[in-house]
Structure 1
């Protein structure tokens, strides 16, 4: 028997493993099973080279739980070890500089294990004692048993072992008894080992017999040794890819399509990436890519391996160039990882381009499911934008699809304004903005449908990318003011009539929380609606952006500001104006005359005081100006009172306002009830 201490430069290795690695303690099973698989594959390699001439036989790795003995055993029939090899590979741990490193990475188990090659020692996270019972594949090798109780002290002794290979026996700690539960071990094997290249057996297959599930003699193999991504694409059918997707994501719809990755230079990478159907809510689709190293599961947190927008894809990436125990700091700095990221981005854009070119109709049918992903990529990665701009699509309100270049050519003649700007009209809801869309169409204009989660951000970006172009929502203003032409001559109302008309309608506007209205007149043509409500393109974008951009929240607190535009060409508005003029002439004339006099006096006072500095004004000067301002305000209030009195007396005013509010979903509750009752009265 040999006794000794493990060769370490600090004696706190086991407390460290217990304390700092405990949050990730489940990875011990991955480490031990991976070691068993490695030992088995090494034996297969020796046999292939002729260095091992014995029978390989059954190479299955067995995992077994003994609840009574409180042990978990992982057994293989690989190359095994001699006493000398145990001393070299198990007892000599390169652990210099451990204390500084442990303090720095105390919350990152993978970094610690990966840095020191401590895969085997992760078993002490869950075990009070670990036994290694092993026998080398070499001729005349003897069985060897190594035992360690979680201190630097170990024992090595000869033992009886009939077959080559290694048994790792973990005597599970009292605080880790969950790892003696069959369901827990099955869960971990499924998570970490389901695609390992050597069969892994855990228990026996069961069958229904005499009213209950009973074990059979057949091993329960928990893994697929040749997963789909390891196979040659030409040997696979579409149904094979869909079947594998359903295995990975049992509750998901079928993917749109997929990319089979296979590269061996300048790095090694295989895998399959799927395009899921993404219509909304980016976050629920993240972290569905599983990262493997030689078919061993590493992580599904792949943000540092692929660009952010590609985390929306699903599937598998397998690369031996990314270590099994990988830290986030490693991923952020490693050149291979950056090359992999660039490669995957290129493969994705090439795949989308090829599908677009090969079957445009099919691509268009998938566009609504793809749009969110492609837009996210274009917004976040310049390189991806440069590739995607040739196959990214616009969809108009009639359901027709155009590339960016096609759409520019379609609208450039009709929708270029007098300043030479190309105006892209768009709607966000076909039903809610129906009348605005129809008004634009009547002018010969085309309207895009931009109803996606990222379309507000896309609009801002495309305005920067497209030369002399502007996007305007179709209800952002009167259509003739959105696209202004040189040849337009409109008969606008005289200022006094426009002021009276807007004053009357303003008096009848409802009071709404966090909502402001500005009333104005415009000559929109006899066939246009009598009253329309528009909202500033700029303010709407800012409020939209406040929902998802940091630092923009103050826009979200601002009131919604609408313009209520009276069509001075419409019969009903003309009738209100005519009736108002005759009904209010006698009441308004003295007020207007007094206002004109007061305004002239105000101008004279300003002229008289213009050369005086504020501190040079006397109290009389200030009182004179204040009284004039107060008198003007009083007359203006009197005029507003006259307008309000008329507004209440003419039901057509309130009816026109409510029709515009109703069209924009702004008429609710009591106001809607009053509108309905008034409508009935007007019909009578």
Structure 2
């Protein structure tokens, strides 16, 4: 048996980790599952490239809870580790990076750090007072025997050879007294559904009950008889829609995935945008336009940010422009820095490029929809108008890209582009100074008599009753040459 001290300068790093990440203890499971996925994906890559002939077999990652024993296990059949690798990656690298992380962010509010990715293995000590690793490498030959590593939350550890076992790694956490919530099945299920919902390797946790038909048997009403069957519960969809080619997907596939993301959403989205970029940064995802109507309040269903299919956050401010936070969907990018404060994100070059690209793709999609089927676009306008106005008011480039398809609606429910409307009214609504006057009503019912009066003079009246229309009118007056907006009940 090998005994030793973990390579850390801080006498006891574990209480520091625990205190530092106090509000985010649940991410320990995301980190350990991510490690298991990485180990499995590496083995698959070695197998694909012909660098190993090991039989892959079932690669399902298993999460096992034992409330009586007070333990939680994460078991994978990935590449595993040798004793030398355990010493290198666990005793040295993992814990020195723990110190580095804590040192770097000790003065930053924990809630303002994106994702905490890179915490890795040592995050286990946020919820455990004893951790055991049993591991066996996929390799064969000298120095490849199975080993067991144990640590009780002090810098002291033990490591020894153990009898042969299956390839891969099994991590056992003895859950600490102050973390008993992680011995509840519902809590673990909640965390797995949050962080592991779309991981590329199957994750199994517990059992679920289903009903299957009994072949050849029917009840008194002639319906097939069913029996209750228990089977392993697989948490995740390993091939989420955003990883597929748009050419092989139909609208119903996108709508089905929308409901997978947001189970309480009963309305289909208006349309979607499939993102797929591999240069100069990696970015995939699907964004959906929900029916906003006149609402601009904080969205319950938000854009979800992933890194290589691992959920990071649904607080995507500073990663996408503010107006795009009204959309729903998924963004997956390994190029968004995660172990950073939110303020740092605002100046990060990659994040700026990603934000700008998403804004451009949204604008391009809107222009495409307008050109492809204007009638359909007009039918959706009232639902997306608040989003488009928000974008115009907050992003100059967005306005430049979509100014040709911005619509206005008159009291007869007819839609016009800005150029079309100018042509419609300039002959009858130009003042002595050569300004074209756009009359508008902010409340059609209250301003009925003024609208009727305008119609008697053969004037056209727009409807501007949206939550952002006052700001939009001010903005457009500055943008459009020789154009003024006047409320239909104004004195002049």
Residues of 2 paired with 1:219 and 1:365: CA distance?
46
Which of 335, 342, 354 aligns to 1:340? It is 354
Q: Which residue of 2 aligns with 1:401?
A: 415
Q: Which residue of 2 aligns with 1:78?
A: 78
Do the aligned partners of 1:204 and 1:215 also contact (CA within 8 Å) in 2?
A: no
Give the total of aligned pairs. 473
Which of 165, 170, 183 aligns to 2:168? It is 165
Residues of 2 paired with 1:240 and 1:228: CA distance?
8
- The structure-2 alpha-carbon separation of the partners of 1:444 and 1:298, relative to structure 1 and needing over 3 Å to count, comes to same
Q: Which residue of 1 aligns with 2:60?
A: 60
Residues of 2 paired with 1:13 and 1:273: CA distance?
41
TM-fit CA distance, 1:87 = 0.6
- The structure-2 alpha-carbon separation of the partners of 1:79 and 1:330, relative to structure 1 and needing over 3 Å to count, comes to farther
Q: Which residue of 2 aligns with 1:379?
A: 393
Greater CA deviation, 342-351 or 466-475?
466-475
Residues of 1 paired with 2:46 and 2:209: CA distance?
36
Q: Which residue of 2 aligns with 1:645?
A: none
- Name the one with the larger helix percent: 1
Q: Which residue of 1 aligns with 2:129?
A: 128
Residues of 2 paired with 1:263 and 1:26: CA distance?
31
Q: For residues 642-657 of structure 1, what are the structure 2 equivalents within 5 Å? A: none
SS, match of residue 151 in structure 1: coil
- The structure-2 alpha-carbon separation of the partners of 1:323 and 1:168, relative to structure 1 and needing over 3 Å to count, comes to farther
Do the aligned partners of 1:427 and 1:451 also contact (CA within 8 Å) in 2?
A: yes
- The structure-2 alpha-carbon separation of the partners of 1:329 and 1:146, relative to structure 1 and needing over 3 Å to count, comes to farther
SS, match of residue 285 in structure 1: coil
Q: Which residue of 2 aligns with 1:203?
A: 206
Q: For residues 422-501 of structure 1, what are the structure 2 equivalents within 5 Å? A: 422-477=436-491, 482=492
Residues of 1 paired with 2:114 and 2:370: CA distance?
43
Residues of 2 paired with 1:282 and 1:119: CA distance?
38
Do the aligned partners of 1:102 and 1:112 also contact (CA within 8 Å) in 2?
A: no
Do the aligned partners of 2:83 and 2:147 also contact (CA within 8 Å) in 1?
A: yes
SS, match of residue 206 in structure 1: strand
Q: Which residue of 2 aligns with 1:667?
A: none
SS, match of residue 225 in structure 1: coil
Q: Which residue of 1 aligns with 2:51?
A: 51
SS, match of residue 306 in structure 2: strand
Residues of 1 paired with 2:282 and 2:177: CA distance?
42
Q: Which has the larger radius of gyration?
A: 1
Matched, 1:222 2:224: no
TM-fit CA distance, 1:418 = 1.5
Do the aligned partners of 2:282 and 2:334 also contact (CA within 8 Å) in 1?
A: yes
Q: TM-score, normalised by structure 2?
A: 0.92
- The structure-2 alpha-carbon separation of the partners of 1:16 and 1:112, relative to structure 1 and needing over 3 Å to count, comes to farther
Matched, 1:249 2:251: no
TM-fit CA distance, 1:99 = 6.7
Do the aligned partners of 2:294 and 2:383 also contact (CA within 8 Å) in 1?
A: no
Matched, 1:94 2:107: no
Do the aligned partners of 1:21 and 1:109 also contact (CA within 8 Å) in 2?
A: no
SS, match of residue 94 in structure 1: helix
Residues of 2 paired with 1:109 and 1:340: CA distance?
20
TM-fit CA distance, 1:102 = 4.2
Residues of 1 paired with 2:345 and 2:283: CA distance?
15
TM-fit CA distance, 1:304 = 1.0
Do the aligned partners of 2:209 and 2:228 also contact (CA within 8 Å) in 1?
A: yes
Q: Which residue of 2 aligns with 1:537?
A: none
- The structure-2 alpha-carbon separation of the partners of 1:344 and 1:198, relative to structure 1 and needing over 3 Å to count, comes to same
Q: Which residue of 1 aligns with 2:215?
A: none
Once superposed, which parts of structure 1, at least 4 consecutive aligned residues long, lie more than 3 Å away? 95-100, 108-114, 323-327
Residues of 1 paired with 2:229 and 2:462: CA distance?
63
Q: Which residue of 1 aligns with 2:288?
A: 274
- The structure-2 alpha-carbon separation of the partners of 1:391 and 1:84, relative to structure 1 and needing over 3 Å to count, comes to same
- Name the one with the larger strand percent: 2
Do the aligned partners of 2:406 and 2:417 also contact (CA within 8 Å) in 1?
A: yes
Greater CA deviation, 268-277 or 96-105?
96-105
TM-fit CA distance, 1:107 = 2.3
SS, match of residue 467 in structure 2: coil
CA RMSD of aligned residues (A): 1.9
Q: TM-score, normalised by structure 1?
A: 0.67
- The structure-2 alpha-carbon separation of the partners of 1:160 and 1:468, relative to structure 1 and needing over 3 Å to count, comes to same
- The structure-2 alpha-carbon separation of the partners of 1:250 and 1:266, relative to structure 1 and needing over 3 Å to count, comes to same
